[in-house]
Amino acid sequence: MPGNIAITAIYYKSPLLMITCSDRGVTDHMYDNVTIEVVKGGMGSPPLEEWKEIASRSGAELLKVGGIWIWIKENAPWGWPELQRLYGSSPYAYFWREGLYYSISATNTISKNQVIKIIESMHPVVG
């Protein structure tokens, strides 16, 4: 994580795992710096051509990072008006990896390149 950002809370209610990361000790995912959501199941990644079309229409980029395709938008709007007022548009990314769907949202203090570095650093835990 960039700067002094660290994991401050982990929430789990099947099928969703949510990891809250903050540089201020915030445990509420609405006000942290970075939220990582992981969902098991679902339909999986769409075909690459469809993803390219979705990215093009939405003003996002489709990038290959660490062997996986990610959809990333540097200035994505928030789904909640309060967060839009607080943070403005911010980086957002999503991707599928090994049967899991991931989404990463960040406040505007985190850059698109930092979100990409977070994704590059993510590796499955073997246990």
* Dihedral class, residue 98 (left if φ above 0, else alpha if ψ from -120 to 50, else beta): left
Residue type (1 letter), 14: S
Query: How many angstroms separate the CA atoms of 109 and 113, rounded?
Result: 12
**Whether the Cβ atoms of residue 97 and residue 68 lie closer than 8 Å to each other:** yes
Cβ neighbours, 10 Å, residue 83: 16
Q: Is residue 126 part of a domain?
A: no
- 3-state DSSP call for residue 60? coil
Tell me the pLDDT tens digit for each residue of 69-112. 999 999 999 888 888 898 889 999 999 988 899 999 999 899 99
pTM over 0.75: yes
Q: Is residue 127 part of a domain?
A: no
**Domain extent at residue 69:** 6-121
Domain containing 86 — which CATH number? 3.40.1000
